[in-house]
A and B are shown apart, each in its own frame.
Chain A
Amino acid sequence: MGKASQLFKTDLKGLDRLIKKLRSDGYVVYGPVKRGRSWFFLEIDSVKQVDLNYVRTVLPPKKLLHPPREKLFEFKLGDGFEVSEKPMPPTVALFGVHPCDLKAIERQDEFFSQTPEDPYYLARRRNALIIGLTCTRVDENCFCLSRGTGPEVSTGFDILITDVGNGYLLEPGSAKGLELLKSLGFQEVGDEYLEAKQKLIEELKKSFTKQMPPEGLAELAKSMLEHEVWKETAERCLSCGNCSLVCPTCYCFDVYDVLELNLRSGVRVRELDSCQLLEYAEVALGGNFRRNRFQRLRHWMLCKFGVAGGGLYSSCVGCGRCIVYCPANIDLTEVASRLRGGG
């Protein structure tokens, strides 16, 4: 897609009109809302509810595209069975998605598009509208810069919003986005706004402290399966699975059937799962190929380093969530630097 050909500018009121327009177009709009000391993607109807200066939400926008729990189909038992697929839930618009999360959505898009396609994810995704938001600040756990996943972003959004000080720069990233911007009659502006945006981003880059460069990490980790860092780190791990739950690129799910009390009908559902949990790799008769905690922690980190099954698609985009929400203060960037021979 590259650089947008047309640029627009608006103020807070304009952003509010954008949200209202999306709602009147039938979207359920979600944006980053502050509750206590954390941010959450919640349904919004006005820009006033949104914190445009947020750092990261607890759960990534994944919760709206690859939900924690969803029905795959309903069935009726009796003489054999019948299956009926359910219509898709309402279309969502995600307002204010940061670059790392945009990148994670792109990876999930590609992952779920592999043959055979995942019809549930893709239907929801095709209908969704995504409005990105350039970060205004980073904290000590952000490391998108070193992952190449932010703070600049050129794809993965329909519209990208950047606070340029004297208003909001709006860049269309898709035909749908451009049409929206035009329909709202926002003021067209010139390339000098891109320069202003670039200056802000260059300034922002100076505040990153954490890093985990991808270069060679996958190969290195795979060649160091016996390194003591795995067992040492696993001694602290509680196998709670928080890290997967909050990770925007973790896609794993469990599938199970739920029968109604009448035992005649039921649903098959899928629910997000984590390879950090003991049951994840359990097979019949109590077998388990990742019975030890260090094996599960190692598998999860290998995945985030890009060497487990999901490859690049499930690898880390540097959002920092797993570090912030780990009850044992486990930090994958520290494991990576130990593998690289530091410390």
Chain B
Amino acid sequence: MAEETTNPPPAETPAAPKAAPTAKPASPASAGAKPAAAKPAAAKPAGHAAPKGPPLATLTPELVQLQQQFGESVITPAPYVGVLVNDPSKLRDVMTYVRDQLGFDMLANATAVDYIKEGYIEVVYHPQRSKGGQPITLKVRVPRGNDPVAPTEVAVPSLTPIYAGAEFQEREIYDMYGVRFEGHPDLRRILTWEGFYGWPLRKDWHEPYYEGDTKPFDSRWPGGHHELAEERVPWADNVNYPPGFDPLNFNANPDAGLYDTMISGVPGVEEIASNGHAQRSPQFKGVGAAVPVLDRNYNNLADEEELQTDQIIVNMGPQHPSTHGVLRMVVKLDGETVTDLKLVLGYLHRNHEKIGERNTWLHNIPYTDRLDYICGIANELGYVITVEKMMGIKPTERAEYLRVIMTELTRIESHFWAIGFLLNDLGAFYTPALYFITERDLILDLFESVTGSRLMCNYMRFGGVSRDLTEDQLMHARQLAFDRIPRKIDELEQLLTDNEIIKARTIGVGYLPADRSINYSLTGPCLRAAGVPYDIRRVDPYSIYDRFDFEIPVFYGADVYDRYRVRVAEMRQSLRIVQQALNQLDQTKPGDIQAGKKAYNHRVPAGEAYGRVETPKGELGFYLVSDGGQNPYRYHVRSSSFINLNSLKEMTVGHKVADAVVILGSLDIVLGEVDR
């Protein structure tokens, strides 16, 4: 779950003797009325006593080892959590050591925070072990500069050579904060477009409809008046242009740089293409085995030269039925074989994080529903447990059970959807999906009767849930969990698992072995299909998952077929959890669903936390920074769909374009979570 948020003063830590005198046990709760007031002064070397500042982190044994390795001037304890890497030029060495010597082989999360008063942007990394346990936190600070459109002067070394999963995350940091990354293979904007004016998540960048830094806005609360945003802004619309901008005479190129490397070619890709074959998983013995995937030798033909063909670049999406929403895949094709692939994201970038930093803590819960809109309740759980950790409250017993029941039903519902639409991508258009949408609707009926909404349930609260289940609803849940859904999963397997066409199309397709998957920070069913038993419900248990008897299904094919099988097996395990939870629910007190009083305004003590849960798509993390006010100072969502997409290129190159669609389907992305 989340790391410790407010640590005791690190007096008893032998390895951080210098830090001890500086760390005053500042009272976080009282420090927080002013935004960012509680943050420390700009990157002071350790040992210089900061007169007033937040408590410094207690170092875990791994971090102590890291400090010993690189010296106490390079690695110093950061406020609240983790360590600071004081010299950005050493970052790659530090991270290589963290990966190779300490065993933190996945970069779970990378993001940034703009500490505007202190004048720096802090880039935050959360590496974690694929064997389990909590992630560690490393931070680097760069001066932010005052030019609104120029990127930072100091560049941070890109971690892409160490963690392949850093690629999209670093691009996102660049896009949102203007932090340059040195050595990044393709540093372009990712969620907005090339040429966008400014760095949206910086604290001094204001959107056109900007009204105030925090909600509730003074104009509306209390009493308040209502005014349309369009009437308030000079352009009468949600737009903002730099002074002197001439719309009739400017060069717009939102795709600048997109095709450059595709046309010139990337070394890695050439390698795979000249190799002649796409990577296939070991279990692949099937239909296509005898047929070379990319045969450029044409040995049986007299004149090789005559058959040389051009490669073409094709855009798939953003309006394309195979892309699961508004994703754009740019593929380079040799005949029908994909030789290069790039993704263009951001067509559903709804500014979740910028809005989330204005919202009050409670206000954000319904927004998390709209992240991965297939499984809203699972997202809420991730956010709520992170904030609960920061607030130090614990939900009631019954609320915990209700959370688990609802979340696991969400998982089943989401996997039904994923499998149905994987079959869509395979060409079985809509028929299997129809079967599974019917079952999904039955689960949604339960959600609707409990929460009032089918998709956007808004069910969790800090310290509990919003409603208890009535006896009728419990009957409904029992009927689903003990009778209907088990039968339907059997039916599903009967229909699909041994289907010859499905096997021929999926076995060996989209192969990504375990070590590469880990390096790409792949999480969720895709990682478990590669043989890595990584499930946060087990490796870092949260809520009450440690009470239930369930297994983490693992398969070793690392291909589309095993991703499908993992999902089916997971549905059965989720059912086991729901069944156990329903049976144990009688031991709790009905109606006791909220710890403490219900409140609208929550004050979260100053501090920060990275909390994570296992959603149907993978690891959903929330990185939250509080300055003690009623709004998050930083609200970052580490979404599994977004980071899983990093690996799509390596899975796809060498396969036919029709398989690219299937491989994307097997990742089971949801664009709301990808673009946020």
Does A pair with B?
no
